[in-house]
Structure 1
Amino acid sequence: MAEVLIENGVNTVFGIPGAHSYELSDALARRSNDIRFIHTRHEQGAAYMAYGYAKSSGRPGVFTVVPGPGVLNAGAALCTAYGGNAPVMCLTGNIMSHLIGQGRGQLHELPDQLATLRGLTKHAERIEHPGQAADKMTAAFTEMLSDRQRPVAIEVPWDVFGQKGPAPDISPAPRRHTAIDPDAIREAARMVAGAKNPMIMVGGGALDAAAEVLELAETIQAPVASHRSGKGIVPDDNPHAMNLVAAYDYFRDCDLLIGIGSRLELQYMRWQWQPAGLKVIRIDIDPTEMVRLKPTLGIVGDAAEAARALTQALAGHKATDRAAEFEAIRDRARKASEVVQPQMSYLDAIRRALPRDGFFVEEVSQMGFTARFGFPVYAPRQYVTCAYQDNLGFGYNTALGVKVANPDKAVVSVNGDGGFMFGAQEMATAMQHGINVVAIVFNNNAYGNVRRDQMNVFSERLLGADLKNPDFVAMAQSFGMAAERVDTPESLEKALEGALAKNAPALIEVPVERGSETSPWQFLHPAPHD
């Protein structure tokens, strides 16, 4: 198993050793020159770190946990990896092979762990004897990295982990390739040529198609919009980029929507309004997406390959430069979104302090929600999100994995107090392994979104929304971490610059008056156009 990891380019594994998989841990220890093992303080932390590693780098993120409660603790991160289309591999054990399915109540036993894993992943298998190890591990890599990338899992019974067998030849896992229908490309080119106001919507499936998307946008003079997973595919300071606020403004006159690697969440789930006569082209590696949301024309294939083919099919296409028009729409959007305070001012401060190539890891929080339209991003993968799971508490742990994958880049984790406490114990992991993430904790002593909804929708009947928090600065310092408290955007900018310059784990707490934040949801779920 360790050899297959190495052959497929894995050099880091996150996890917590346990009795069921001691032999796997020992195999990793014997190959410590090839694989770095980062042990965490919670299984969820290990899995989220693998997610952050994979999402920010495009390389496989691997973690190992004990079966039963370990797998269940890691389950939230597997949900996130599934929703975020991330190549994450879970390696776990199981009870003794002859006892599986008997319900004897063995240590860490689940009624059907493999079925549980198959419900959380794209592919899950059990290695039942040593002769299957190389083939099943290689097949898992193929499934994880082919077509729509998603997490996979391998389980091995307790007694099988320590068995020996002949060592097979091991090669890197092959990947499947989907051929693109040339007739569909020709039809798409015809539709584009007849459109007056096309829009390109990109999602996580287009992260490796940035150059091709931009070339297509320039060829047809279309804006490129994204929600969260597609942020940075076209840099936000490029004339063709539009955040979701500007895109909604433009969408009222859109006659052709080109979705590339996107579920089109904004247009069909959040905006809930389409212009009359709108035509839709979808480019997606997953053919089932064409059934979930049926387009006018579907093109199944790799985002970069399809976008390149469409641009080539449009050779000779002439479109009027619309940079000034797009800029005016972006300016209107920026002025409109300035009402979301204090979030926008704090996000501006973070953007000024964070290097252009730095990573921003959001959290399910008032700052995180606002960042989806209020934080400019300049390259793919630099904005790391939890995708449609929106699971509270993923942020700090994920950011640690981002930093492990990108040790020479600045990584900032932006949290609310509620979410940060889900993984605060991993400050110990950051200190022990020298993972130099700067965590910013905006402390409003509440689950802010829950509190606002209870105040506004449920006649101010509060239940479980207000929080009693620790002193976050003292807490971080107790781990040996540098920490300070600031209370203005200007002081946050200065503190963040200083923390990043030190290149060490750090925490900055920002107190925010409970209930004082302006709701960002007027832009995330806007009212329908007239």
Structure 2
Amino acid sequence: MTKMTGGEAIIESVVANGVDTIFGIPGAQIYPLFDGIYKHKLNLIVPRHEQAAAYMAMGYAKSSGKTGTFAVVPGPGILNTTAALCTAMGNCSPVVGLTGQIPSSFVGKGRGHLHELSDQTGTLKSIIKDAFSIADPQQTEAVVNQAYATVARGRPGPVTLEMCWDIMAAQAEVELPATVVPATDTVDVDPDSLAAATRMIVQARKPMIMCGAGALHAAEEVRALAELLNAPVTAFRSGRGVVSEDHPLGLSAVAARQLWDDCDLLIGIGSRLEMPYMRWGNYMQYESKPSSGPKLIRIDIDPGQMETFIPDLGIIGDAAHVCRQLVDQLQTKVSPDPDRLDDIAGAKAVAWQALQKVQPQMAYLDVIRQVLPRDGFYVPELSQMGFTTWIGGLPVYQPRTFVDSGYQGTLGYGFPTALGVKVANPDKAVVSVCGDGGFMFGVQELMTAVEFNIGVVTIVVNNHSYGNVRRDQEMGYGGRFCGSELRTPDFVKMAESFGARGYRVGTPAELKPILAKCIELDQPCLIEIQSERGQESSPWEFIHPQGTL
């Protein structure tokens, strides 16, 4: 037993769970927590906004597969992080948020203590996977371990952990925690489901595989299954790169649409299957199961997914484990069609040619892909460039290197998330591409990047507008632009005032050498792309296509 504060006890248990980096901003209720961070000499990244702390933890987690951790004060502090928390819930990122609480004698009294919420854990539980509270320092190790197990178990997602102000500050005799060995998330796969899936796959002539975030750790197993079947593999956002898009079987969403009408079996692996059943169907009308299309097998660790969208056959289990068993069972039972490679190559060529009309985004993305190393990270935004990446404008070669916001579509997430990606992957190139509107949500984090030398290259496409909103108002509301046109700063001067390097370009050819230089510098850099309002071609006909090209 060792005497320490509740805040120190939390940090002792956090460290025992393998954490070495925390993103956070100190405040009155959590001073003991930060004292524990100081004593442990943890890598502390201090952003300029609490929301950014959670985004950085999310980028750290999503890009590495490890749990990201942030710490902020309760009440308005933790509420400031909720946009990032719901985004982490949407893109399946394991994130733990550490926070405080009002003094224990005030909880539930409604007295109006500093940062008081009527039900902090209840509010957070409505957004995230779970919210924990430690009432007794002796419970610290058990509750912290439970929190870190919860974020990684099943479908990964964020949780929060709170302790009251007085308990966190008080000294108590606490047993030092033991190092935690992460538990393997094993689920016994139903043998009957495997047998039924094997029969369905054997009977299929033109199967297709679609991956989501639940397949990111299973790239080798998914590729083995795909190569056994000569099945094309695609993804919309989170699952991109599970099979490289320059592999003969890897293809973009637009290319997959060319093959969809002939597909007789879809195997969804760790995916909500938004693309074929929502984006390619009726985005405004919920269906509990497919009303048309191929037979559907879903493989997912989350049993609830089989209820929200009902497949012909559901297999509950870890993607890598299930794919490995399917390969073993199918090894001597399938004879894949060799002509499918030609069909896939043809679909990829048609799609790539069709996408060339989306300009100037495609020209800029082509330059970025040429310069960005294969293992480099690309973090898009809700922008014209970002939407173009959804449809394959930037091929993705490795899992986790395309870090998207998932179904939340959170404007402003990109730049602070990219900083977390770079902290988790200091030796890899990280490029964040934002519109001027989304970038300004987190512009203050340029100071964080400079202070901690986080070498993200940030490209800001300055079209003086919320570009997608402006286009929607132009096309659907008679050009009645309301709130969509923006006045923007001199981004180069602004970057330099923060201590970052600033550059300005007007063409893809100008971007190429400057981007290469910035990646080589490995310092905080901002590149402004000058663009006129309404200049970009719309990518939306490819996101919501009506048929093959």
| Residue 288 of structure 1 pairs with residue 298 of structure 2 | no
Task: State which drifts further: 170-179 or 316-325.
Answer: 170-179
1:361–1:385 Cα contact (<8 Å) kept: yes
Q: Any gaps of 5 or more consecutive residues in structure 2? A: 1-9, 283-289
1:147–1:176 Cα contact (<8 Å) kept: yes
Q: Of 166, 169, 177, which residue of structure 2 is paired with 1:159?
A: 166
Letter in 2 for 1:45: A
Letter in 2 for 1:284: D
Tell me the distance in 1 between the aligned counterparts of 2:347 and 2:268. 21
Q: Of 376, 389, 394, which residue of structure 2 is paired with 1:375?
A: 394
> What is the SS of the residue equivalent to 1:257?
strand
Deviations 1:216-243 (A, max 9, x none): 0111111001001011110110000110
1:257–1:278 Cα contact (<8 Å) kept: yes
Q: Normalization by structure 1: what TM-score? A: 0.98
1:45–1:426 Cα contact (<8 Å) kept: yes
Tell me the distance in 2 between the aligned counterparts of 1:242 and 1:176. 30
Q: Of 93, 96, 117, which residue of structure 2 is paired with 1:89?
A: 96
Tell me the distance in 2 between the aligned counterparts of 1:216 and 1:155. 43
Tell me the distance in 2 between the aligned counterparts of 1:320 and 1:75. 48
Task: Write out aligned runs for 1:40-439 (5 A).
Answer: 40-163=47-170, 164-172=172-180, 173-272=182-281, 278-316=294-332, 317-321=334-338, 322-372=340-390, 373-439=392-458
> What is the SS of the residue equivalent to 1:242?
coil
1:528 shift after superposition: 4.5
Tell me the distance in 2 between the aligned counterparts of 1:369 and 1:277. 25
Task: State which drifts further: 402-411 or 456-465.
Answer: 456-465
> What is the SS of the residue equivalent to 1:424?
coil
Task: Write out aligned runs for 1:31-46 (5 A).
Answer: 31-32=40-41, 35-46=42-53
Q: Any gaps of 5 or more consecutive residues in structure 1? A: none
Letter in 1 for 2:459: I
> What is the SS of the residue equivalent to 1:266?
helix
1:152 shift after superposition: 0.8
Letter in 2 for 1:145: A
1:142–1:175 Cα contact (<8 Å) kept: no
Q: Of 13, 16, 23, which residue of structure 2 is paired with 1:7?
A: 16
1:220–1:318 Cα contact (<8 Å) kept: yes
Tell me the distance in 2 between the aligned counterparts of 1:62 and 1:276. 43
Tell me the distance in 2 between the aligned counterparts of 1:58 and 1:239. 26
> What is the SS of the residue equivalent to 2:398?
coil
1:174 shift after superposition: 3.4
* C-alpha RMSD of matched pairs (Å): 1.3
> What is the SS of the residue equivalent to 2:444?
helix
Tell me the distance in 2 between the aligned counterparts of 1:75 and 1:276. 37
Deviations 1:71-104 (A, max 9, x none): 1111100011100111000000011111011111
Tell me the distance in 1 between the aligned counterparts of 2:517 and 2:331. 50
Tell me the distance in 1 between the aligned counterparts of 2:508 and 2:331. 48
Tell me the distance in 2 between the aligned counterparts of 1:132 and 1:459. 61
Tell me the distance in 2 between the aligned counterparts of 1:2 and 1:57. 21
1:427 shift after superposition: 0.4
Letter in 2 for 1:335: Q
1:503 shift after superposition: 1.2
| Residue 20 of structure 1 pairs with residue 35 of structure 2 | no
Deviations 1:306-327 (A, max 9, x none): 0111111101122122222211
The alignment of Structure 1 onto Structure 2 pairs a total of residues equal to 528
> What is the SS of the residue equivalent to 1:103?
coil
Task: State which drifts further: 481-490 or 272-281.
Answer: 272-281
Q: Of 463, 476, 483, which residue of structure 2 is paired with 1:464?
A: 483
1:169 shift after superposition: 3.9
> What is the SS of the residue equivalent to 1:467?
coil
Tell me the distance in 1 between the aligned counterparts of 2:49 and 2:376. 27
Task: State which drifts further: 110-119 or 438-447.
Answer: 110-119
Q: Of 478, 490, 495, which residue of structure 1 is paired with 2:497?
A: 478
1:277 and 1:402, CA in 2 relative to 1: closer, same or farther beyond 3 A? closer
1:220 and 1:175, CA in 2 relative to 1: closer, same or farther beyond 3 A? closer
1:374 and 1:151, CA in 2 relative to 1: closer, same or farther beyond 3 A? same
Task: State which drifts further: 54-63 or 452-461.
Answer: 452-461
1:251–1:275 Cα contact (<8 Å) kept: no
1:168 shift after superposition: 4.5
Moved over 3 A (4+): 173-176, 273-277
Letter in 1 for 2:133: R
Tell me the distance in 2 between the aligned counterparts of 1:84 and 1:408. 24
Tell me the distance in 2 between the aligned counterparts of 1:176 and 1:395. 30
Tell me the distance in 1 between the aligned counterparts of 2:195 and 2:511. 52
1:3 shift after superposition: 1.8
Task: State which drifts further: 405-414 or 110-119.
Answer: 110-119
1:404 and 1:169, CA in 2 relative to 1: closer, same or farther beyond 3 A? closer
Q: Normalization by structure 2: what TM-score? A: 0.95
Tell me the distance in 1 between the aligned counterparts of 2:345 and 2:17. 44
1:275 shift after superposition: 9.1
2:16–2:177 Cα contact (<8 Å) kept: no
Match of 2:471 in 1: 452
1:147 shift after superposition: 0.9
